[in-house]
DNA sequence: CCGACGGTTCGGCGCCCACCGAAGGATCGC
DNA sequence: GCGATCCTTCGGTGGGCGCCGAACCGTCGG
């Protein structure tokens, strides 16, 4: 009886078309913003916000607030597995429309596809995290007391032709949590300038119209020379890559 | 989006306290009448009848009409496994402070349930998990690559008089998450046959009308002989003997 | 300072649905 | 035939909740 209440409450979280749509979308293992989820489900932002509240309160989703964004993801792998199981098993799974339910395994594959992309105005994905790590390894960035550029790092940027100018309101360097890698990459003015330079110098080029980018041979050499960073042959691009991104949030 | 509708519809079947109560009750693998379910859930007969309609229409339950009775049971083992999984995993463990007003009788009932019960058509609870572990320990079941019956396990079952027959659609052996022990017990055809044999051979007998069972002296001897499994002084329906439950033996 | 933008809160609307009691079968035992 | 039992159908009621737009707030970048 008591168990029935709990079971009903849990099922109730999924028992709404919009919330179910959220959860299915989040099965890709990434974190989506409220706005992205709203657009995906076709509801107003306010509605999506309220649904997000309920899903978080019910323990189905976890959230992380970053700046003016609110990122939502499945609370844990157990929840993901459970949703997958239910979604795969419910009778109408054979919907015939050829839209199979996304599995976590498939999502991992897709992760490799989008191994490099832009996030706002800086680099993200595997590439972004790798660059961040390499800069720490080379002593250009320190993370001992928060994340900051070292004098050597400033010099390195200057040698690339990047002038950070006078300190303004925007942080010079900031960590930005990468939701495919679940680790931080570099944002802020420096992150933005690194991205700008990488594009300008032909280290990376955009793939299609989305946020995905790929590393050119020139870029591979430059990254190896400049940062000792060896990029594996990972980045296979495919039309699916851009499609895998949450709609919206592509700016600039 | 299409999938979201289906998922929401399916979850919606469980997203009601009364219907969830039905499904949980039906996890004992028996067929219940509408009247029994109504009384169990504490709703009017008419209400129960309507809920039964919805659950049948949604593919969760199957029905069989016999004379003036309408028997309801879970549609298939897959549905049973799904419900059990969801019930075991839903995060109502921290369901809030005040809830459970438990009577002593209810507590005893629950202890019996926790000790040994049927789950759909196989054994669950402490007993179910212990049997599963013992079968692994005796080399009858392997869990190296998923859970499977070994040749020795097949032979053991044969010696009990259990013939698994030809492989059909249903898995021969499957793990089923136990919601009191939070560990896996054995389901599938083999799990079902073990339960059937245990009841037929008088190893266990049902307590009252619910899912709870208790191990008989014959069963104790048989489990010790066959599996080297020593069960403490059996679960019983008498309040005084509740202490006999192998409290120290729980978990591992 | 400003405007742009993502998100939240609030009031309100409308619909869905869980529930009940009463009336109406259907089936059993006699 | 009769009454008893089990169930279904139907009308009505109440509450919950999904949805929206408008107002508001905090953050970002200039």
CA–CA distance from B31 to each of A177, B61, B78 (Å)? 52, 10, 16
- Whether nucleic acid strand D comes within 7 Å of the CB of A65, the answer is no
The residue lying closest to nucleotide C22, measuring its CA against C1', is B46
Q: What is the pLDDT of residues A215-245, one digit of tens each?
A: 888 999 999 999 988 876 443 333 223 323 3
- Chain A: residue whose CA lies nearest to B1: A21
Give me chain A's average pLDDT, please. Answer: 75
Please state, for a pLDDT cut of 70, what percent of chain A lies above it: 68
Is residue B81 within 8 A of residue B174, CB to CB? The reply is yes
Q: Strand D: which bases are under 7 Å from protein Cβ?
A: 5-11, 17-23, 26-30
Nearest CB among A2, A12, A17 relative to B15 is that of: A12
Strand pairing class (A148-149; B61-66): unpaired
Instruction: Name the CATH architecture for the domain at A2-100.
Output: Orthogonal Bundle (1.10)
pLDDT in tens, B204-224: 998 866 678 889 999 999 999
Q: Where are the domains of chain A?
A: 2-100, 113-243
CA–CA separation, A11 vs B55, rounded Å? 14
Decide if A92 and B10 are in contact by the 8 Å CB cutoff: yes
* B66 bridge partner residues: B69
What are residue B186's DSSP bridge partners?
A: B175
Say if CB A181 and CB A125 are below 8 A apart: yes
Which residues in chain A have Cβ-Cβ distances shorter than 8 Å to B16? 8
**A218: which residues sit within 8 A by CB, 6+ positions away?**
A201, A202, A203
Tokens of B202: 């008088």
Nearest CB to A24 within list B4, B21, B87: B4
Task: Tell me yes or no: is domain B2-75 CATH 3.30.200.20.
Answer: no
pLDDT, average across residues B170-186: 75
Distances from the Cα of A186 to the Cα of A133, A164, A199, B247, angstroms = 9, 15, 16, 53
**Rounded to the nearest 5°, which phi and psi values hold at B145?**
-120, 80
A47 CA → C13 C1’, Å: 15
C-beta atoms of B20 and A7 within 8 A: yes
Give first-to-last CA distance, chain B, whole Å.
Answer: 43
Chain B residues lying within 8 Å of A24, measured CB to CB: 3-4, 7
Closest-CA residue to B156 (of B67, B102, B70, B222):
B222
**Angle subtended at Cα A33 by Cα A25 and Cα A236, rounded to the nearest 5 degrees:** 60
User: Mean pLDDT, chain B, as a whole number?
Assistant: 78
Shortest CA distance to A190 belongs to which of A143, A227, A141? A141
Taking alpha carbons only, the member of A118, A120, A134 closest to residue A199 is A118
Contacts of B92 in chain A (CB under 8 A): 3, 5-7, 9-10
Q: Are B14 and B83 in contact (CB under 8 A)?
A: yes
Interatomic CA–C1' length for residue A46 and nucleotide D21, angstroms:
9
Q: What digits encode the pLDDT tens for the residues A63-89?
A: 988 888 899 988 876 787 688 778 766
What percent of chain B has pLDDT above 70? 75
B8 contacts on A by Cβ (under 8 Å):
14-17, 19-20
Taking only the tens place, the pLDDT of each residue in B196-208 is: 999 999 999 988 6
Confidence band of A101 (pLDDT split at 50, 70, 90)? very low
SS3 string, chain A, reads CHHHHHHHHHHHHHCCHHHHHHHHHHCCCCCEEHHHHHHHHCCCHHHHHHHHHHHHHCCCEEEEEECCEEEEEECCHHHHHHHHHHHHHCHHHCCCCCCCCCCHHHHHHHHHHCCEEEECCEEEHHHHHHHHHHHHHCCCEECECECEECHHHHHHHHHCCCCCCCCCCCCCCEEEEECCCCEEEEEHHHHHHHHHHHHHCCCEEECCCCCEEEECHHHHHHHHHHHCCCCCCCCCCCHHHHHCCCCCCCCC
B118 contacts B213 by C-beta, under 8 angstroms: yes
Contact indicator for B3, A87 with CB cutoff of 8 Å: yes
ipTM above 0.90, yes or no: no
Whole-number Å distance between alpha carbons of A2 and B96: 12
Output the pLDDT for position A251. 30
Q: What is the pLDDT at residue A41?
A: 93
| Non-local CB neighbours of B42 within 8 Å, separated by 6+ positions | none
Q: Is the pLDDT of residue A199 over 90?
A: no
pLDDT digits (tens, 9 = 90+) for A115-142: 677 665 678 778 888 898 899 889 898 8
Which of A196, A228, A19, A44 minimizes the C-alpha distance to A122?
A: A196
Q: Would the pLDDT of B103 be above 80?
A: no
Has residue B70 got a pLDDT over 70?
yes
Indicate yes or no: strand D within 7 A of the C-beta of B40. no
Chain B nearest CA to A173, separation (Å): 39
Query: In this model, does residue A92 exceed pLDDT 60?
Result: no
Q: Is the CB of A252 under 7 A from strand D?
A: no
Please name the residue of chain A whose CA is at the shortest distance from the CA of residue B88: A7
């Amino acid at each position: 009886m008591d168990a029935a209440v709990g079971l009903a409450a849990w099922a109730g979280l999924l028992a709404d078309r919009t919330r179910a749509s959220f959860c299915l979308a989040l099965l890709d293992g990434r974190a989506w913003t409220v706005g992205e989820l709203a657009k995906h489900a076709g509801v107003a932002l306010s509605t999506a916000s309220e649904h997000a509240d309920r899903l978080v309160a019910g323990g189905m989703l976890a959230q992380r607030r970053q700046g003016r964004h609110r990122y939502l993801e499945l609370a844990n792998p157990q929840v993901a597995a459970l949703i997958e199981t239910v979604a795969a098993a419910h009778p109408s799974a054979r919907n015939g429309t050829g839209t199979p339910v996304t599995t976590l395994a498939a999502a991992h594959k897709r992760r490799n596809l989008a191994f490099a992309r832009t996030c706002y105005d800086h680099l993200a994905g595997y590439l972004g995290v790798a660059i961040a790590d390499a800069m720490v390894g080379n002593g250009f960035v320190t993370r001992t007391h928060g994340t900051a550029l070292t004098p050597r790092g400033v010099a390195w940027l200057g040698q690339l032709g990047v002038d950070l100018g006078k300190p303004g309101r925007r942080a010079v360097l900031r960590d930005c949590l990468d939701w495919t890698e679940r680790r931080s990459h570099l944002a802020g003015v420096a992150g933005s300038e690194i991205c700008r330079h990488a594009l300008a110098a032909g280290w990376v080029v955009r793939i299609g119209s989305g946020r995905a980018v790929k590393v050119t041979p020139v870029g591979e050499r430059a990254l190896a020379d400049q940062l000792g960073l060896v990029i594996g042959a990972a980045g296979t691009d495919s039309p699916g890559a851009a499609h895998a991104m949450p709609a919206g949030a592509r700016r600039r």
